[in-house]
Structure 1
Amino acid sequence: MDQVSGLRTVVATRYVTPFREGGSLPGLVEADDLGMYVLKFRGAGQGIKALVAEVVVGELARRLGFEVPEIVLVDLDPQLSKAEPDEEIQDLLNASGGINLGFDYLPGSFDFNPRVRDPGADLAARLLWLDTLVLNVDRSWRNPNMLLWHREVWLIDHGASLYFHHRWGPGWQPAAEYRYDASDHVMLPVAGSVTDADRALRPMVTAGVLTEVLALVPDEWLAADPAFDSPGDVRAAYRAFFEARLAQADTWVPAVEETRAARV
């Protein structure tokens, strides 16, 4: 196996089946290490920036103590499309040659809903804090994006986070504040103190952690961003966002607490 940006790289050897419940039509693939991975395609409608968000937020969550399936880079040969009878999937495979993103497949896992099984007030508050930090707009009761596997809650699907990067351009600077509506968050009704979660988690998001996580994103994905001159400039922009967002936490944490208090 090669090592690229600190993430393992595997080669897709067989396309197994699509997961049609996902908007980006992710698929299950087998790789040359004999592992099975949920593949997120670079050629999907959300584009490469969704894959960047998956890496940054997923690996940050892992470092903050959340369970996240192993993230790997998947080298995909479009020739795999020749064995696929579905024309839509053929087109997706043909548009996704090169490095894509994969997540370790968790066999036997199923969708987790905190309304059915209590995840614990502390975990709920921590996840609410994380999603507010990264502006994850896709963790509602309609689409929790959590799995239960081996009695643990696992986080998946962070491609809708960091939504600001779809609109940045030359000279971009972090906004003074970002709109985030926590009222629809799936963990809101069961979360404990977000203030306590902030005290625990904010000090863990250090400059070193941010540098480490951003270094995991392949240069070629960042080089494709027309708003910046180099991958280093893109990483600096993401770092600037996190630094500004953390500096604003004394504003948005109380706002989330107010929303939680109104819901309880």
Structure 2
Amino acid sequence: MNKIEIRHVEVVQYINPLREGGSLPAIVKADDDFLYVLKFRGAGQGKKALIAELLGGEIARAIGLNVPELVFMNLDDSFSKTEPDEEIQDLLKFSVGLNLGLHYLSSAITFDPLASKIDAMTASKIVILDSLISNIDRTAKNTNLLVWNKEIWVIDNGASFYFHHNWPTWENHLTRTFPLIKDHVLLEFAENLKEASLEIKEKLTNLKTQEIIALIPEDWLRHENDTISPIEIRAAYKTYIEAKLAMIDNLVKEAEDAR
């Protein structure tokens, strides 16, 4: 089993904001000469959205889905000083330090359920993925899927794991299914849910889950308002993912009933 390694790069050029998202991600260039979509720690949901992006992306990759390479991106304070737009200037100022980048897929197009093709197994895996990580943001309005080189790529998992916005009640989510799956953009194409669930259980072992959670930078686990420690937070993510995997048959049935 290959060990997951997330590269660290430095942002060397801010190119332009992507104004489709409320959190104003941006296309930037790094010191490795590649372009990335940079997700900012200073945006609306802050570091918790970066954690959800990291966990959701690497879980998707572990179960065999296409995900752009994720990298840790260091942003220094020089960019905010030269940015004329006040909103972006503030975002850059509050995002100095470690952020998250996704490799920019040049010329990729947004997945359109009416015009794009997707095979049943891929659709089924993505539906189950979003049930497992409680992703409320993969709907027809906002598919968060790209078509690149004739393949489907999973992006934007920052709305997942929403239980982590309120730690005092997080354990209440351990036994819940995910009724919002009824709104999933790929539900109608997900004809292989049972087969997909077997493959996911095989690939997403407890060891793999632990390895993915260990990737979270310590700094991202520290928030002024959190009531539990970083060690307890890592343990909570592990407990949550394992609890969802244990009830995967129920999640599959819920999705099948919704279809």
Decide: shared fold, TM above 0.5: yes
Q: Which residue of 2 aligns with 1:204?
A: 203
> Letter of the aligned partner of 1:237 in structure 2?
A
Q: Share of identical aligned residues, percent?
A: 44
- Give CA deviations for 1:88-120 in whole Å, capped at 9, x if unaligned: 100100111100111111111110123212201
Q: Which residue of 2 aligns with 1:243?
A: 242
The whole-number CA distance in structure 2 between the counterparts of 1:186 and 1:62 is 20
Written as runs of structure 1 = structure 2, the 5 A alignment for 1:189-228 is: 189-224=188-223, 226-228=226-228
Q: Which residue of 2 aligns with 1:46?
A: 45
Written as runs of structure 1 = structure 2, the 5 A alignment for 1:62-141 is: 62-141=61-140
Deviation of 1:203 after TM superposition, in Å, equals: 2.4
SS of 2:168's partner is coil
1:143 aligns with 2:138: no
Q: Do the aligned partners of 1:118 and 1:190 also contact (CA within 8 Å) in 2?
A: no
Deviates most, 163-172 or 25-34: 163-172
Deviation of 1:223 after TM superposition, in Å, equals: 3.0
- Give CA deviations for 1:139-189 in whole Å, capped at 9, x if unaligned: 001111011111111110000011111111389565321443212111012
> Letter of the aligned partner of 2:21 in structure 1?
G
RMSD of the alignment, in Å?
A: 1.7
Where do 5+ consecutive residues of structure 2 fail to align?
none
Structure 1 140/181 Cα, relative in aligned 2: closer, same or farther at 3 Å?
Answer: same
TM-score normalised by the chain length of structure 2: 0.93
SS of 1:181's partner is helix
Q: Do the aligned partners of 2:68 and 2:102 also contact (CA within 8 Å) in 1?
A: yes
Q: Do the aligned partners of 1:11 and 1:75 also contact (CA within 8 Å) in 2?
A: yes
SS of 1:169's partner is helix
Deviation of 1:224 after TM superposition, in Å, equals: 3.0
The whole-number CA distance in structure 1 between the counterparts of 2:22 and 2:124 is 27
Q: Which residue of 2 aligns with 1:8?
A: 7
Q: Do the aligned partners of 2:163 and 2:169 also contact (CA within 8 Å) in 1?
A: no
The whole-number CA distance in structure 2 between the counterparts of 1:166 and 1:91 is 23
Deviation of 1:200 after TM superposition, in Å, equals: 1.8
> Letter of the aligned partner of 1:235 in structure 2?
R
Deviates most, 202-211 or 17-26: 202-211
Deviation of 1:234 after TM superposition, in Å, equals: 1.3
> Letter of the aligned partner of 1:198 in structure 2?
S
Displacement over 4 Å in runs of 4+: 170-174
TM-score normalised by the chain length of structure 1: 0.92
Q: Which residue of 2 aligns with 1:168?
A: 167
- Give CA deviations for 1:205-236 in whole Å, capped at 9, x if unaligned: 1111101111111111113372222x322111
> Letter of the aligned partner of 1:102 in structure 2?
G
